[in-house]
Homo-oligomer: A and B are copies of this chain.
Amino acid sequence: MNQYRLLIDCPDQPGLVYQVSRALFKGGFNVLSNHEFVDAATGHFFMRTEFSGPGDAQAILRALRERLASATLRLSAVERRPVVLLATKEPHCLGDLLLRHAGDELPAEIRAVVSNHAALGPLVEKFGIPFHHVPHDEVSREAHEAAVADAVSPYDPAYLVLAKYMRVLSPGFVERYPQRIINIHHSFLPAFMGARPYHQAHERGVKVIGATAHFVTDELDTGPIICQDVLPIDHSYTTAAMVQAGKDVEKFVLARALRLVLEERVFVHGNRTIVFG
């Protein structure tokens, strides 16, 4: 039996759930789960529905498109999504995703890893995934990014995951993958934006460290937040110990965010996300 997800968002108006549920009912589909949310501040409506049945899902989509002219509608079959990972030198997030992939924990097909350093090649190759080393030295930023794009593009990824990729992507690159690039930032954003957040955190003497997974936008470290978590620390943590603790929370947060995105539980609305967890 085919299984689908329908995502709708539009300005709120009476009867939206009725319209959608009627279309599915009349189309002979069985609703497996429903999530709805109306953002009171902006009056915007969000709905995610999972349904199954032998009927014509595209016909549902067409019918709703007609009736709900102002809505953004997305229909997709429930299936594994192609993903490409970008990384630099740190193995913890990358390795964790490769391990989860190998253990079939993620509804993803990791098609390749692209890195500006060679260091992670052996790790990636252990898992039988293609590894592309695209060095950034002695080339311009533009040329490097073009080479990264060329390495990524043939794999046709639904999502790019920056698993500790330590280069800033240009607006031109980002707009190719709107709301489809996920980054893990090593702090509880918006605290400690920019470089060396653990050094900043150590200096400030914080008692909790965090990590933030977010969509990448044009502006550094300010894209819509998907998922955050923290770990308690104390004065005895050196910067190195904070980095080590940070790795644990980073890999947990990135994996959780990726799962939420792969299961299409995340809407972006302005600079915020609606996450039907």
Contact = CB atoms under 8 A, between A and B. Distances in A.
Tallying the copies of this chain within the complex gives 4
A123 interface: yes
Nearest to A190: B191
Interface in A208-265: 208, 210, 224-230, 232, 234-236, 238, 244, 247-248, 252, 255-256
- Chain A, interface size category, equals 35 or more
A82 interface: no
Interface of A: 14-15, 17-18, 21-22, 24-25, 29-34, 36-41, 91-92, 95-96, 99-100, 102-103, 105, 123, 126-127, 188-192, 203-208, 210, 224-230, 232, 234-236, 238, 244, 247-248, 252, 255-256, 271-275, 277
B96 A99 contact: yes
A14 B51 CA distance: 11
Given A207-B227, A207-B275, 16 more contacts: A14-B30, A21-B21, A32-B38, A33-B36, A95-B99, A105-B244, A126-B127, A188-B191, A189-B204, A203-B272, A204-B272, A205-B224, A207-B225, A207-B226, A208-B228, A208-B229
Closest 9 pairs (CB-CB, A-B): A205-B272, A18-B21, A126-B126, A191-B191, A95-B99, A17-B21, A207-B228, A15-B25, A18-B25
A26 B16 CA distance: 12
Given A102-B95, A123-B102, A227-B207, A37 B33 contact: yes
A55 to B, nearest CB: 12
A229 B40 CA distance: 28
Given A21-B21, A99-B91, A248-B255, A188 B204 contact: no
A189 B190 contact: no
- Residue of A123, A126, A189 ringed by the most chain B CB atoms within 10 A: A126
Contacts of A127: 126
Given A36-B33, A96-B99, A235-B37, A208 B224 contact: no
Contacts of A92: 99-100, 103, 105
29 contacts: A14-B31, A15-B25, A17-B17, A17-B21, A17-B31, A18-B21, A21-B22, A33-B36, A33-B37, A33-B38, A37-B235, A37-B236, A40-B238, A41-B238, A91-B99, A91-B103, A92-B105, A95-B99, A126-B127, A188-B188, A188-B191, A188-B210, A190-B192, A203-B272, A204-B271, A204-B272, A205-B271, A208-B228, A235-B275
